[in-house]
Amino acid sequence: MRRFDEQRVQSLQTIQSYIGEFYRAKANLPQNLDELNDTFREIIVAKDPETGASFEYEARGNLTFSLCANFNRPSELVESIAKPAVPHDGPFGREAWEHGEGRFCFERAIDKDFFQPLKIPR
């Protein structure tokens, strides 16, 4: 069960990076996860490794979104020596992947300084 949960987190991390690249390319968030699929670049959004269900996604504003999954168990606590005292401030703000058991949503915000929309010359 723990392995499925670890795969869920890895899939959500990958989806989060796809959302960032989508924002960079289009200057807005996708309306749904299907918009991230791109056969040319061989990007297919992962589904839950145990159930095959789609992960939940909701754009909550111009820069904010949530990614949700159903977890079998709460995430393992890591010893404080191996874990920074402050969560990593990445391009989506505070990126913690700690989760509880059951349905859990990760709230994210695009860092506009990191994901600046591409400017294509005309």
Q: Residue ranges per domain, the chain?
A: 2-109
**Euclidean distance between CA atoms 14 and 34, whole angstroms:** 14
CB 29 within 8 A of CB 59: yes
Stretch among 12-16, 21-25, 32-36, 86-90 having the lowest mean pLDDT: 86-90
pLDDT in tens, 28-62: 999 999 999 998 989 999 999 999 999 999 999 99
User: For the residues of 32-58, what is the DSSP string, one character each?
Assistant: SGGGG-BTTTTB-----TTT-PPPEEE
Number of H helices, E strands in the chain: 1, 5
- pTM of structure: 0.82
